[in-house]
Amino acid sequence: MANKKNDFYWNNYIAAADTACQAAGYLLECLRKFDAKRMNEMLVRMHELEHKGDSLRHEMTQALAKSFVTPIDREDMAEMCQRLDHVIDCIEEVLQVIYINHTVKITDEAVSFAEKICVCTEKMKAMLKDLPNFRKSENLHSLIIDVNTAEEECDELYFQSAYNCRENRDGKNPLDVIAWREIYSKLEECADACEDVADTVEAVVMKNT
């Protein structure tokens, strides 16, 4: 049973993961119904979610600075907080790169990528919900593997998408090829960031059980 006085820490992590899920869901919505004329509106909304993540990180940082005793090592808790914030930052950067490259049409691969990022963030959130009981949990290890598996699927999609770009078929503009390789790389970074959170959770479990 989790210690009630530690609820703030665990709930902060879950809230950060939920914000990442919201950001991933919004990214998917933007790509499915992409309209370049609404780019500024999309960037503003996504930045609001990124700012929400920053606020959660600041709350955690302040709490860790004031607390004498924390449920796990202070350094590990701070690292977890930073990695969760990085997930949201990476998702925002996808839209920023789409904007910077003057993208007017979204590829099917990008939509598929966004769908997989939603899966990554949801699995990450499920893992963090189980984290408070990490000393007794029978599911946490499999939840960590779920995040790793979701990230591997994104790796496969990245390689195929990047390969398709390089073929430069159908008279694609070389600048568009370069732009899309950058966009796919940013999408893949989102999945990597989720896996980094899972790796941190795994390290915490190993150190404390």
Q: Give the residue-averaged pLDDT of 141-149.
A: 95
Direct distance between the N- and C-terminal alpha carbons of the chain, in angstroms, rounded to an integer: 15
From 169, 201, 177, select the one nearest 87 (Cα to Cα): 201
Q: Measured between alpha carbons, how far is 116 from 30 in angstroms, rounded to an integer?
A: 15
Q: Residue 151: how many CB atoms within 10 A of its CB?
A: 24
Query: How much is the pLDDT for 170?
Result: 52
Question: Alpha helix locations (H) across 67-173?
Answer: 74-100, 108-130, 140-167
| Number of domains composing the chain | 1
Query: How much is the pLDDT for 172?
Result: 66
Q: Give the residue-averaged pLDDT of 55-69.
A: 92
Considering Cα of 62, then 66, then 72, then 73, what sign does the dihedral take? positive
pLDDT value at 171 more than 60:
no
Residue 191's domain spans which residues?
Answer: 4-208
- Give the list of residues 6+ apart from residue 52 with CB closer than 8 angstroms, or none: 19
Least confident of 33-37, 71-75, 86-90, 143-147: 71-75
Q: Measured between alpha carbons, how far is 22 from 134 in angstroms, rounded to an integer?
A: 25
pLDDT tier at 1, thresholds 50, 70, 90: very low
Percent of the chain with pLDDT over 90: 80
Report the predicted TM-score, pTM, of the whole model to 2 decimal places: 0.93
| 3-class state of residue 170 by DSSP | coil
Percent of the chain with pLDDT over 70: 95
For position 141, which CATH number holds? 1.20.58.220
Q: Give the residue-averaged pLDDT of 89-100.
A: 98
Query: How much is the pLDDT for 3?
Result: 61
* Tokens linked to 48: 């609001």
* Tokens linked to 176: 């568009």
